[in-house]
Protein backbone atom coordinates (compact mmCIF):
# COMPACT_ATOMS: atom_id res chain seq x y z
CA UNK A 1 0.00 0.00 0.00
CA UNK A 2 1.50 3.29 -1.12
CA UNK A 3 2.43 5.93 1.46
CA UNK A 4 2.50 9.57 0.38
CA UNK A 5 3.82 12.23 2.72
CA UNK A 6 2.92 15.86 2.05
CA UNK A 7 5.62 17.97 3.62
CA UNK A 8 7.98 20.90 3.40
CA UNK A 9 11.43 20.69 5.02
CA UNK A 10 11.00 24.20 6.43
CA UNK A 11 8.24 22.85 8.69
CA UNK A 12 9.50 21.30 11.92
CA UNK A 13 6.74 18.66 12.15
CA UNK A 14 7.28 17.77 8.48
CA UNK A 15 10.94 17.10 9.17
CA UNK A 16 10.09 14.82 12.09
CA UNK A 17 7.86 12.70 9.84
CA UNK A 18 10.46 12.59 7.03
CA UNK A 19 13.26 11.60 9.43
CA UNK A 20 11.10 8.92 11.05
CA UNK A 21 10.31 7.30 7.69
CA UNK A 22 13.94 7.37 6.56
CA UNK A 23 15.34 6.11 9.88
CA UNK A 24 12.89 3.20 9.91
CA UNK A 25 13.20 2.16 6.26
CA UNK A 26 9.56 3.04 5.53
CA UNK A 27 9.12 3.47 1.77
CA UNK A 28 7.25 6.67 0.87
CA UNK A 29 6.64 9.18 -1.86
CA UNK A 30 7.54 12.71 -0.77
CA UNK A 31 5.23 15.44 -2.06
CA UNK A 32 6.64 18.90 -1.37
CA UNK A 33 4.06 21.58 -0.61
CA UNK A 34 5.40 25.05 -1.40
CA UNK A 35 4.51 27.13 1.63
CA UNK A 36 5.69 30.45 0.14
CA UNK A 37 3.36 29.83 -2.81
CA UNK A 38 0.57 29.06 -0.34
CA UNK A 39 0.00 25.61 -1.88
CA UNK A 40 -1.29 24.43 1.51
CA UNK A 41 -4.12 26.96 1.29
CA UNK A 42 -5.44 25.78 -2.10
CA UNK A 43 -8.78 23.96 -2.54
CA UNK A 44 -6.85 21.00 -4.01
CA UNK A 45 -4.81 20.63 -0.85
CA UNK A 46 -7.90 21.13 1.34
CA UNK A 47 -9.20 17.88 -0.21
CA UNK A 48 -6.26 16.12 1.43
CA UNK A 49 -6.28 18.12 4.65
CA UNK A 50 -9.18 20.47 5.42
CA UNK A 51 -6.96 22.05 8.12
CA UNK A 52 -4.73 23.27 5.25
CA UNK A 53 -1.60 22.31 7.13
CA UNK A 54 1.36 20.02 6.65
CA UNK A 55 2.42 17.33 7.30
CA UNK A 56 -0.31 15.00 6.11
CA UNK A 57 0.01 11.40 5.04
CA UNK A 58 -2.12 9.35 2.67
CA UNK A 59 -1.67 5.60 3.14
CA UNK A 60 -3.87 3.78 0.65
CA UNK A 61 -7.30 5.33 1.33
CA UNK A 62 -6.35 6.53 4.78
CA UNK A 63 -5.62 10.23 5.31
CA UNK A 64 -4.06 11.52 8.52
CA UNK A 65 -3.04 14.97 9.74
CA UNK A 66 -1.16 16.15 12.86
CA UNK A 67 2.47 15.13 13.11
CA UNK A 68 2.31 13.39 16.49
CA UNK A 69 -0.65 11.29 15.35
CA UNK A 70 1.26 10.50 12.14
CA UNK A 71 4.40 9.41 14.02
CA UNK A 72 2.36 7.14 16.29
CA UNK A 73 0.50 5.69 13.29
CA UNK A 74 3.72 5.00 11.39
CA UNK A 75 5.30 3.38 14.47
CA UNK A 76 2.19 1.20 14.91
CA UNK A 77 1.21 0.33 11.33
CA UNK A 78 4.61 -0.45 9.82
CA UNK A 79 6.40 -3.62 10.88
CA UNK A 80 10.00 -3.45 12.02
CA UNK A 81 9.90 -0.11 13.83
CA UNK A 82 12.03 -0.62 16.98
CA UNK A 83 10.11 -0.48 20.26
CA UNK A 84 12.08 2.48 21.66
CA UNK A 85 10.40 4.88 19.23
CA UNK A 86 6.95 4.23 20.72
CA UNK A 87 7.16 1.61 23.48
CA UNK A 88 4.41 -0.97 23.94
CA UNK A 89 4.81 -0.69 27.73
CA UNK A 90 1.76 1.24 28.93
CA UNK A 91 3.64 3.48 31.40
CA UNK A 92 6.52 4.29 29.04
CA UNK A 93 4.04 5.06 26.26
CA UNK A 94 1.96 7.25 28.59
CA UNK A 95 5.01 9.35 29.44
CA UNK A 96 5.74 9.87 25.74
CA UNK A 97 2.12 10.98 25.19
CA UNK A 98 2.55 13.38 28.12
CA UNK A 99 5.68 14.97 26.59
CA UNK A 100 3.99 15.26 23.18
CA UNK A 101 0.84 16.84 24.68
CA UNK A 102 2.97 19.27 26.68
CA UNK A 103 4.88 20.16 23.51
CA UNK A 104 1.76 21.54 21.76
CA UNK A 105 1.06 24.31 24.28
CA UNK A 106 4.62 25.03 25.34
CA UNK A 107 7.76 24.50 23.24
CA UNK A 108 5.89 24.36 19.91
CA UNK A 109 3.66 27.34 20.61
CA UNK A 110 6.48 29.50 22.01
CA UNK A 111 8.90 28.58 19.23
CA UNK A 112 6.42 29.20 16.40
CA UNK A 113 5.24 32.56 17.78
CA UNK A 114 8.76 33.74 18.43
CA UNK A 115 10.35 32.62 15.17
CA UNK A 116 7.41 33.74 13.02
CA UNK A 117 7.39 37.21 14.54
CA UNK A 118 11.18 37.51 14.48
CA UNK A 119 11.51 37.12 10.72
CA UNK A 120 9.50 34.33 9.08
CA UNK A 121 6.39 36.55 8.80
CA UNK A 122 8.23 38.59 6.15
CA UNK A 123 8.57 35.54 3.90
CA UNK A 124 4.77 35.38 3.86
CA UNK A 125 4.40 39.11 3.23
CA UNK A 126 3.02 39.64 6.73
CA UNK A 127 4.05 42.21 9.32
CA UNK A 128 6.05 41.10 12.36
CA UNK A 129 4.39 41.60 15.74
CA UNK A 130 7.08 42.48 18.34
CA UNK A 131 4.68 41.95 21.27
CA UNK A 132 3.80 38.46 20.00
CA UNK A 133 7.53 37.80 19.48
CA UNK A 134 8.19 38.75 23.12
CA UNK A 135 5.37 36.57 24.41
CA UNK A 136 6.55 33.70 22.24
CA UNK A 137 10.12 34.11 23.48
CA UNK A 138 8.99 33.98 27.11
CA UNK A 139 7.11 30.73 26.52
CA UNK A 140 10.01 29.34 24.48
CA UNK A 141 12.51 30.07 27.27
CA UNK A 142 10.21 28.62 29.94
CA UNK A 143 9.80 25.51 27.78
CA UNK A 144 13.54 25.08 27.25
CA UNK A 145 13.97 25.44 31.03
CA UNK A 146 11.36 22.72 31.58
CA UNK A 147 13.17 20.38 29.16
CA UNK A 148 16.49 21.16 30.88
CA UNK A 149 15.27 20.75 34.45
CA UNK A 150 12.52 18.14 34.14
CA UNK A 151 12.16 16.16 30.93
CA UNK A 152 15.94 15.61 30.88
CA UNK A 153 16.41 15.30 34.63
CA UNK A 154 17.19 11.60 34.67
CA UNK A 155 20.47 9.94 33.71
CA UNK A 156 19.73 8.70 30.17
CA UNK A 157 20.77 10.79 27.16
CA UNK A 158 17.17 11.21 25.90
CA UNK A 159 13.91 12.66 27.19
CA UNK A 160 12.42 10.87 30.22
CA UNK A 161 15.83 9.38 30.95
CA UNK A 162 15.52 6.95 28.04
CA UNK A 163 18.60 5.29 26.61
CA UNK A 164 17.30 5.44 23.01
CA UNK A 165 15.26 8.13 21.23
CA UNK A 166 11.47 8.07 21.06
CA UNK A 167 9.11 9.95 18.77
CA UNK A 168 9.03 12.65 21.50
CA UNK A 169 12.79 13.27 21.12
CA UNK A 170 12.33 13.51 17.36
CA UNK A 171 9.37 15.94 17.52
CA UNK A 172 10.92 18.24 20.11
CA UNK A 173 14.45 18.21 18.69
CA UNK A 174 13.12 19.20 15.24
CA UNK A 175 11.39 22.13 16.94
CA UNK A 176 14.55 23.27 18.74
CA UNK A 177 16.51 23.02 15.46
CA UNK A 178 14.20 25.65 13.93
CA UNK A 179 15.95 28.27 16.08
CA UNK A 180 18.80 28.03 13.55
CA UNK A 181 16.62 29.85 11.02
CA UNK A 182 16.66 33.11 12.92
CA UNK A 183 19.73 35.26 13.52
CA UNK A 184 22.64 33.04 14.51
CA UNK A 185 23.78 35.22 17.39
CA UNK A 186 20.31 35.30 18.88
CA UNK A 187 19.74 31.61 18.17
CA UNK A 188 22.98 30.82 19.95
CA UNK A 189 22.16 33.03 22.88
CA UNK A 190 18.78 31.38 23.34
CA UNK A 191 20.25 27.90 23.66
CA UNK A 192 23.46 28.92 25.45
CA UNK A 193 21.89 28.74 28.93
CA UNK A 194 20.56 25.25 28.31
CA UNK A 195 23.54 22.92 28.28
CA UNK A 196 21.51 19.74 28.71
CA UNK A 197 19.19 20.75 25.86
CA UNK A 198 22.22 21.28 23.59
CA UNK A 199 23.67 17.88 24.56
CA UNK A 200 20.33 16.18 24.03
CA UNK A 201 19.96 17.67 20.52
CA UNK A 202 23.46 16.40 19.70
CA UNK A 203 22.60 12.96 21.11
CA UNK A 204 19.46 12.91 18.96
CA UNK A 205 21.39 13.91 15.83
CA UNK A 206 23.95 11.15 16.43
CA UNK A 207 21.36 8.48 17.25
CA UNK A 208 19.42 9.25 14.06
CA UNK A 209 22.44 9.75 11.77
CA UNK A 210 22.62 10.40 8.89
CA UNK A 211 18.89 11.10 8.50
CA UNK A 212 18.52 13.86 11.09
CA UNK A 213 21.26 15.99 9.54
CA UNK A 214 20.23 15.05 5.99
CA UNK A 215 16.69 16.38 6.45
CA UNK A 216 17.97 19.45 8.31
CA UNK A 217 20.43 20.35 5.53
CA UNK A 218 17.69 22.61 4.15
CA UNK A 219 17.79 24.92 7.17
CA UNK A 220 20.91 26.99 6.30
CA UNK A 221 19.44 27.51 2.80
CA UNK A 222 16.14 28.66 4.35
CA UNK A 223 18.02 30.95 6.68
CA UNK A 224 19.89 32.62 3.82
CA UNK A 225 16.68 33.07 1.83
CA UNK A 226 15.01 34.58 4.87
CA UNK A 227 17.90 36.97 5.55
CA UNK A 228 17.74 38.17 1.94
CA UNK A 229 13.99 38.77 2.25
CA UNK A 230 14.47 40.66 5.53
CA UNK A 231 17.24 42.81 4.01
CA UNK A 232 15.06 43.53 0.95
CA UNK A 233 12.09 44.39 3.16
CA UNK A 234 14.11 46.79 5.35
CA UNK A 235 15.32 48.64 2.21
CA UNK A 236 11.79 48.91 0.80
Choose one: 2-10, 25-33, 86-94, 214-222; the region binding a copy of itself (CB under 8 A).
86-94
Q: Pattern 132-171, binding to a copy of itself, x per CB under 8 A?
A: --------------x--xx---------------------
Q: Which stretch binds a copy of itself (CB under 8 A): 1-9, 14-22, 93-101, 160-168?
A: 93-101
Of residues 72 and 201, the one with the C-beta less far from a copy of itself: 72
Closest to a copy of itself by CB, 108 or 216: 108
CA-based torsion, 107, 105, 137, 49: positive or negative: positive
Q: Which of these segments, 2-10, 87-95, 178-186, 215-223, binds a copy of itself (CB under 8 A)? A: 87-95
Contact between 218 and a copy of itself by CB under 8 A: the answer reads: no
Q: By the criterion CB under 8 A, which residues form the site for a copy of itself? A: 50-51, 62, 64-70, 72-73, 76-77, 90-91, 93-95, 97-98, 100-102, 104-105, 108-109, 146, 149-150
Amino acid sequence: MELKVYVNPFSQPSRAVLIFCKANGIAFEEVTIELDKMQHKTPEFAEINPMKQIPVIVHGDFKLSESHAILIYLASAFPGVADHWYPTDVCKRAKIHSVLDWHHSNLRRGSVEYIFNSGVAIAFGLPMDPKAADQGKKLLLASLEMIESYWLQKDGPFLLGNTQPSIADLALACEVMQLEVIDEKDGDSILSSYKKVQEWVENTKKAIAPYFDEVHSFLPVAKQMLNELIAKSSKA
